Structure 1
Amino acid sequence: MIFLWNISIVCCLLFHIIHGEIFTSVYKLSILANEEGKLLRAFKKYIATQIRDQRSISLELQRLLNDLESAVTDSSQNPRYAENPINSFHLLGRFIYKWPVVYSNILCAECRLDDAALYLNTTYQIVSMNIVHWPGEYDVKASAQALLRLRTFYYFNIDKAINGILFDEQCQPLNPSQVLKIIRIAIDSNLLNEAKLWCEALLRILPFTSYQDENINDLAINRFLAAIYNQAGMHKKAAGVLLELTQSGYSEVDQEYEFYKNSINETDEKQNIALVAEEYDNHYKQLCRENRKSPREYSKLYCYSSVTSIPYYNAKVEIANLQPKILVFHDVISETEASYLRQEGSKKFTRSTVVRTGNYRTVADSIRISQTAWLYDGPGIAEKTTHRVGLLTGLATKSSPRFSNTEAYQIVNYGIGGMYHPHHDAFEKPLWGPPNKNDPLELIGTGDRIATWMFYLNDVKVGGATVFPNVNARVPVKKGSAAFWYNLLPSGENDHRVLHAGCPVVIGSKWIGNKWIREGGQMLQRPCDLNP
């Protein structure tokens, strides 16, 4: 059966998808990787049908199948494929730059569509519904920025990363074209030192790659490197990079060399590329890489068995910091309970937001890369785990339609290089002050967030620790554990010592469940004290 399709119908099929910020959730990227396998099977069926019926296949379609088959087979069969940021960069790139070319070649205007082509289109529509949001160029750019961010935090080896090894884990190698895209994005983001490092790595690796592109060679990469130095105010260095290339016969190189040479001003000439804020190393980044407490500080930390109001129910508690006290409760949530919170949360995910100081409005921001869902306590697991939080902390945690002791669970899944920069959980809206008008009805009049309880709902292979820069404390991600700390001093004032952050996730899919406990109802459990 053969149909003749009008261009307007094809356009409708190809471009009706709403774009979303898929890079902000590794969970959603994993769905994308799994669904890509369906697209590959439909594409291979189409090619097999054309061969069987002795129809011609364009060289472009053959090339695309060769490019896609191995990578997509891996991505769709490996459930942890998208947990590696380099793999995710590849995945998003295929959805933006390769699959649309497949469809434009098969579902083109005035194309004759046989059953195999119609099957491919049907598969496309099913996949589009399953992933909800089709990736956009913004996702590719954000995934490249995530790689740059991870490099500035964890100092991974760029040469190894390009060759497909990140923290000793195998991933898809980056071809020179993809590396150049990362370099361009670094330049656009004013991360000139990072751009220089990736350029230099590409120059080292290029002689050993089999990638063929006449536009990507030593000359082209050195021109990029010279442009980076020039943008950084190092005009003499820029001219020096191109000096040996002026005899290559390219007038553009000669013109650029003359421009850089004429821009040299000895009094103003920069000696090094100036780092921007994102590139500076600091205590926060150092804590993300490793523990920073001295042996003397560590010697004062210990573990103990904590009693509860139920005689036979004790908790395994580790002290991560003494003053202020930051505790880690081990084995306090089962795999069944954690899986329930993950599954229920995944149904309601939206881009995570931050609260703006002053107007207390919530907005999406690059300082927080994750997706969030809110789960209210109801009969079952959510209510049961909230009750357990109360047993373990000694605080009131009852949920109710008015004057609730706790907020709903905030279930969070982090994205590519997902993190949350240093922040406080408290709003500085105390119980004795005017009610926070942005609070939901059940929380109006309940005051500020007196304490934070954070369930770790799964393990993360590399990165993702919760760190407290002001007190030099670090809590690594451990499935089944929970971190607990007070956000307020006994006087009700914000405790600025518990400034904390979620470190960027390198490899893995980090899930947490936050339960914020309010001041209301805690008068007997944690009495006020004028002495902090």
Structure 2
Amino acid sequence: MNQQNLIMDNDNHSIQLINQRQQQQQLDDCHQNFIRSSPNSNNNNNELLFNKIFAIIILCCCCLLIHQHDGVIPTVQCDIFSSTATIQSLMHLERHLVTSLTLYMENLEERSNQIKMYLSEFAYSAGQKRFAGTYADNLMDNPLQAFQLVKRLTINWNKIVKTVKKDDEWQQVDQLMNSYSMLLPKQEDLNGAALALIRLQDTYNLSLTDMADGYIMGKDSSIRLSARDCLYLGKNAFNNGYYGHSLEWFDEALVRAHQEGNRTASVDEIVPFYQLAIEYIDRLDNELREQNFPRHSDKLRVVEGDNEDYKRYQMLCRGEEFPMDKTELKRRTSDQRCYYSTNNGHPYLILKPLKVEQFNSEPFIAMYYDVISDKEIEIIKELSMPMLTRARVLTDDKDNEISTVRVSQTAWFTEANEPLIGQLNRRIESITGLSVNMNKSDCELVQIANYGIGGHYVPHYDYLIKDKPENQRTNISEKDQYAGDRIATFMFYLSDVEVGGSTVFTRLGIRVNPVKGAAIFWYNLLRNGEGIIDTIHGACPVLIGEKWVANYWIREHGQIFHRPCSLDPTK
């Protein structure tokens, strides 16, 4: 085979290089050699002893964490990166781990230098320049910190498991580890966290050099990515179709390998991937220009964005405006207004009118302020924490499935199992004039969503049935079809988001920033039952901070007397 050939393994999404170039050494698996250890001692016994101590301490910290959080362990088995709630649980564990390691270092005088060196590297990678037991209380200030946390508790822990001596004492540790295995991240979490960083870079046009130096939007995390970190991010970018970004990360990996003296990754190891990315991009560019290889056109679109809606989605997330003609601009300007409303004199609202910010009239899109209290928000979060699982999306030909188009974790509630939900239901009915009686399927169960590292939802419609042919409705249950499509969406914002996390309507050019205690409402269907294509919307990636929302999807058939058909059949 020609050495210029390259293939994509569609099953594993991994790079395969026909390597007749330079190395006899097999290219490393991204999780086996992600961080190359650089021991400064030849004493294997000391290393084994430290590994055993580290294993025991991390397990003790697991137990301590369980007691501190009243026995609540996140039920998610993987995908820790998709929720800030589970990332925070890991943060608490690591904070206790650093404290415990420092105490052990003080008690082991003859080996303290080696452990001190490890602690120093450990603390630096955690955003500290000293090996103190205090750890940043808010990892969500910078996604690089969360990425490094997941990396340490996957790669470093796996190395200890592989190198520790399997004696009787280790068997006890192994049993404890299995008992709390759900708390620790998996390789899938590390891959997801890496992809989240790439997505943030792509959406917000972040400087790669700034990211590698630990800066996100000018905010310093005190983290500096190594050559191997950059190599790993480059591989993930390539495997997920971000070919241009993969080349940038491979280039940065080469620069840092020179600076580090090949300590974490060597130039010889990186060069084949750099050349691979160049060859692949050139090949796809040539095929697109010649228009002789249409089978690759979809891969090029991944780099540029799948369609016009996705391009507008990214522009709106960055705060950019896309061009509008004068007529559309005038209509948009006249639609935007702020006012107080009692919803036609509803008794609940007469003494406390709604504060409304209207963004659009047709379709109606508005924000209601101060409609849920901080106390109610905390109750919802507390109830949701132990129930969060990775969010799924409904596809055209499959059941609900996990997908990268949405990165979040969700929990579901009904008024039958939580009285507060009933109170919120009545509140929504007074605001919208629609029925949200869940017992009659007028509304779906309320979905609580927590968005993690780079948490987002690409542009989509909320309606499920309209405009779908019969052969694509087979995965929609009879109950859902009986309840009708999603006529409207009501979403509480349960947190502020420092940067990112906006809700954007790509056809209308509307960007709504999350405001804690507020709620956004819009109609998905016309009165005649047709879907409103202008309601296509997306959730921008969370760049700094965390995002909590509560989604209500209100169904069609229960609104026959609340939102009757119009005399105009086109509306």
Question: What does the per-residue CA deviation read over 1:29-49, in whole Å, with 9 as the maximum and x for residues that have no partner?
Answer: 111111112222333333333
Shift of 1:221: 4.8
Q: Which residue of 1 aligns with 2:108?
A: 50
Q: Which residue of 2 aligns with 1:466?
A: 503
User: Does structure 1 conserve the Cα–Cα contact (< 8 Å) formed by 2:414 and 2:421?
Assistant: yes
Q: Which residue of 2 aligns with 1:354?
A: 393
CA shift in 2, pair 1:305/1:126, >3 Å: farther
Match status 1:183 vs 2:212:
no
User: Does structure 2 conserve the Cα–Cα contact (< 8 Å) formed by 1:429 and 1:436?
Assistant: no
2:451 partner amino acid = Y
CA shift in 2, pair 1:358/1:496, >3 Å: farther
Alignment of 1:380-529 (within 5 A): 380-400=419-439, 403-428=440-465, 445-529=482-566
User: Does structure 2 conserve the Cα–Cα contact (< 8 Å) formed by 1:466 and 1:503?
Assistant: yes
CA shift in 2, pair 1:212/1:39, >3 Å: farther
CA shift in 2, pair 1:315/1:334, >3 Å: same
2:366 is paired with a residue of what secondary structure? strand
Give RMSD over aligned pairs: 3.9
CA shift in 2, pair 1:83/1:111, >3 Å: farther
1:299 is paired with a residue of what secondary structure? helix
Alignment of 1:113-512 (within 5 A): 125=176, 129=180, 132-171=182-221, 172-202=223-253, 209=259, 211-214=260-263, 216=265, 221-233=270-282, 276-281=300-305, 282-292=311-321, 296=330, 298-300=332-334, 301-308=336-343, 309-310=346-347, 311-358=350-397, 361-378=399-416, 380-400=419-439, 403-428=440-465, 445-512=482-549
CA shift in 2, pair 1:516/1:152, >3 Å: same
User: Does structure 2 conserve the Cα–Cα contact (< 8 Å) formed by 1:35 and 1:76?
Assistant: no
CA shift in 2, pair 1:219/1:521, >3 Å: closer
User: Does structure 2 conserve the Cα–Cα contact (< 8 Å) formed by 1:36 and 1:76?
Assistant: no
What is the rounded CA distance, in whole Å, between the counterparts of 1:414 and 1:465 in structure 2? 12
What is the rounded CA distance, in whole Å, between the counterparts of 2:123 and 2:113 in structure 1? 17
2:551 is paired with a residue of what secondary structure? strand
Task: Tell me the TM-score normalized by structure 1.
Answer: 0.78
Task: Tell me the TM-score normalized by structure 2.
Answer: 0.73
Q: Which residue of 2 aligns with 1:109?
A: 166
2:340 is paired with a residue of what secondary structure? strand
Alignment of 1:71-82 (within 5 A): 71-72=125-126, 77-82=135-140
2:543 is paired with a residue of what secondary structure? strand
2:313 partner amino acid = Y
Equivalent of 1:85 in 140, 143, 148: 143
**Structure 1 stretch 170-179 or stretch 292-301: which is displaced more?**
292-301
2:317 is paired with a residue of what secondary structure? helix
Shift of 1:369: 0.8
| Long gaps (5+) in structure 2 | 1-48, 60-74, 306-310
CA shift in 2, pair 1:274/1:216, >3 Å: farther
1:145 partner amino acid = L
Shift of 1:348: 1.0
User: Does structure 1 conserve the Cα–Cα contact (< 8 Å) formed by 2:317 and 2:500?
Assistant: yes
Aligned residues: 471
CA shift in 2, pair 1:391/1:40, >3 Å: same
User: Does structure 2 conserve the Cα–Cα contact (< 8 Å) formed by 1:352 and 1:370?
Assistant: yes
User: Does structure 2 conserve the Cα–Cα contact (< 8 Å) formed by 1:291 and 1:473?
Assistant: no
1:372 partner amino acid = T
Question: What does the per-residue CA deviation read over 1:294-314, in whole Å, with 9 as the maximum and x for residues that have no partner?
Answer: 664553211111114122121
User: Does structure 1 conserve the Cα–Cα contact (< 8 Å) formed by 2:227 and 2:252?
Assistant: no
1:302 partner amino acid = R
CA shift in 2, pair 1:407/1:83, >3 Å: farther
User: Does structure 2 conserve the Cα–Cα contact (< 8 Å) formed by 1:446 and 1:518?
Assistant: yes
2:415 is paired with a residue of what secondary structure? coil
Q: Which residue of 2 aligns with 1:259?
A: none
1:393 partner amino acid = T
What is the rounded CA distance, in whole Å, between the counterparts of 1:368 and 1:112 in structure 2? 43
What is the rounded CA distance, in whole Å, between the counterparts of 1:467 and 1:486 in structure 2? 15
Shift of 1:228: 2.0
What is the rounded CA distance, in whole Å, between the counterparts of 2:474 and 2:237 in structure 1? 41
2:378 partner amino acid = S
What is the rounded CA distance, in whole Å, between the counterparts of 1:150 and 1:455 in structure 2? 24
